[in-house]
Structure 1
Amino acid sequence: MSPKPYDAILLASFGGPEGQDDVIPFLRNVTRGRGIPDERLEEVATHYRANGGVSPINAQNRALKAALEAELAVQSIDIPVYWGNRNWDPFIQSTLEEMYEKGHRRVLMLSTSAYSGYSSCRQYREDAGVALRASGLEGKLEVDKVRQYFNTPGFIEPSVDGLKAAIADVRQQLAETGNPDGRITVVFATHSIPTSDAEAAGPKDKSYLDGVFPVSEWKATDLYSAQHLAVAEEIMSRVPEAAGLEHTLVFQSRSGAPHVPWLEPDINDAFEEYKKDGVAGVIVMPIGFVSDHMEVVWDLDTEAKDTAAELGLAFHRAPTAGTHPAFVSGLVELIKERLGTSTERVAATTCGAWFDVCRPECCVKVMRDGTTKPTIAAVDAEVKAPAL
């Protein structure tokens, strides 16, 4: 996409509750349109309840916003950063309204999801399109989105640092139990999604990926998994201490009806298989997540850690990118790409730099009846939330 003189940045994220009274209203927002009763939502609310009803994601987004502002200032880039969420205050619509009221007209959106897929990319574009239409800002405020950054050096480097520290820690744990040479498996974890969504990730015409990440180079049957595996292999290749260690991709945080197929294996099931196979320690690398939000704190630091303890596996969970300096500066480099102040489109792994503008049918949402989710006119026209 051609550079533009953007006058504001929108940090767009998922959002999370800030107290016990927020939990059910938040979950209603997340599951809107599905007709799920509050009794069922209360079952899902357990991990939020156990943490005082507060999701860590909001504090982490505030920290990331502050880190971005500081890095922009260091690089003498005079552009303000705003923050808006899909499912909780501050909502994307109210943030866009605030931006317009303050005189901004060209907004560059940066989401806290790194990979291709409906929820992680396309839906953020739809969020912007819906918000512009609902607020009456269609035709008045322009919103573009930064490319997916799963394979940028800034996103990968924090995991390289984390893996080095994790190997040393698990080796120490095994030595203390008298098994210094025990087998270690590096477990790359990401959010599970319905297999139909995974299969729909990326452009409908996969030949569009030729020259960037052709299907012949995928290590999985779907793009979502293939991108994660490419990142996992890149991280392993950058850590000499990881030479000879096994590594796998697992999934977590599954939700929805049991009869609907989701990506597997679940991390806890995988741990049981590793134990049977003679593995002594596991290193969990949460590469599917930008920060240590609830899916990390509960599903990994609580459930997966407990499973490892029950099985007698040494366990270490590496940190997410968070506000790691390399990650923050890498995000600023993506902003500079779109401003036209940097012409280098950096990328690591076997994938090339991802697209600024996705195909209109890219990462569609597959509904339960097999049809795809209809789009709003603003989306189809690619006017204010371009290239959906």
Structure 2
Amino acid sequence: MTIRTLPQAVIAAALEHADAPAIVGDDTLSFAQLEKRVVRGAAAFIEAGLAHGDRVAIWAPNSAEWIVSCLAVQSAGGVVVTMNTRLKGLEAQYILDKTRARFLLTVGDFLDQDYRTLLAGLDLPHLERILTLDGEWAGFVAGGQDLDRARAVMTAVSGDDASDILFTSGTTGHPKGVVSRHAQSVQAFAAWADCAGLQAGDRYLIVNPFFHTFGYKAGWLACLLKGATAYPVATFDPAQVFDLIASEAITVLPGPPTIFQQLLATSAETGRKLSSLRVAVTGAASVAPSLVMRMQDELGIRNVLTAYGLTESSGMVTMTQLDDGVERISQTCGKPIPGVETKCVDRLGKTVPTGRQGEIWVRGFNVMTGYFEDEAATKDAIDDEGWLHTGDIGCFDEDGYLR
């Protein structure tokens, strides 16, 4: 079965890894159970009037319900809008209004915050229903009855359909909504999983937030594609995460360098060691060679990888290889993944020689469809030849590795 959509990934995983654990949280869901819950959730959305292409926002911390609800929306033909859990009321209002989201999935309590109170009194003319994943979601899903219809809709979703809208940070003006298609997300993170050596039976601790590509697509989607088990973590507490890695024999742990620095500090304070970690993927900041060596020597991580991407490129452009040495891991972001072209250019758009810095341009299947309903911004970002102008500065070495 060629997998081109997230619903197809759910179906394939249920067939291939039926009884294996898909998600471990407050309870454990096998891949077969995950598929059943996704179909039931899709049926509930369809029966609630969700139409093909309608937007559903998720404003919640990492959890099994986040994964199930996201896949249920996409299996019903909807488009998921992810929302940063640190947003304030007016910031959330902008995203909900901009995307004309019909449903909002949130939580009644996270770090003493009820997100619904942040929206009280705000004008949201398109929002029809708010459901709490930690309360009302179970009852909503139970109402989904026409499972045959849901499965038909699920299999009809196309790889060219929009799967999600992730918003940029909005450092200048309002944030922009990056639209991605099912097929590009599946292809990009199948490549990511291959580079990371992710495999069936791996136990993957996901501390990166699901509203971001690192937690969502390089996280639980990669697990779904490979048959690995996802362990969602809502908040990062170094001691608790250390204990979880040890007790559950976690094998894969991506995250920014600060996470590994804190785990190293916990190890030093307690005198305890970790032995199960096989793969770590880090980035989003420079990684000192000394940190890579300490991750390997003191945390026992056999393979440390770094990568580069941005939301507009499906979060994926380059990645180091499993057999790369410490210097290459710490000083480069790796090589372009298969099917992706990259180059560094000068101010006139001419390719610069190897070793010389320039703006990084990217072209390939991973480039976004565009910014949601913002043609001018899309044209500014992607030229007529399909090159995404990242605005990031880098250079390629003689071996094709990006620095």
In proportion to residue count, which structure has more helix? 1
Ranked by relative contact order (alpha carbons within 8 Å, sequence separation 6 or more), the top structure is 1
In proportion to residue count, which structure has more strand? 2
Q: Same fold (TM over 0.5)?
A: no
What is the TM-score normalised by the length of structure 1?
A: 0.27
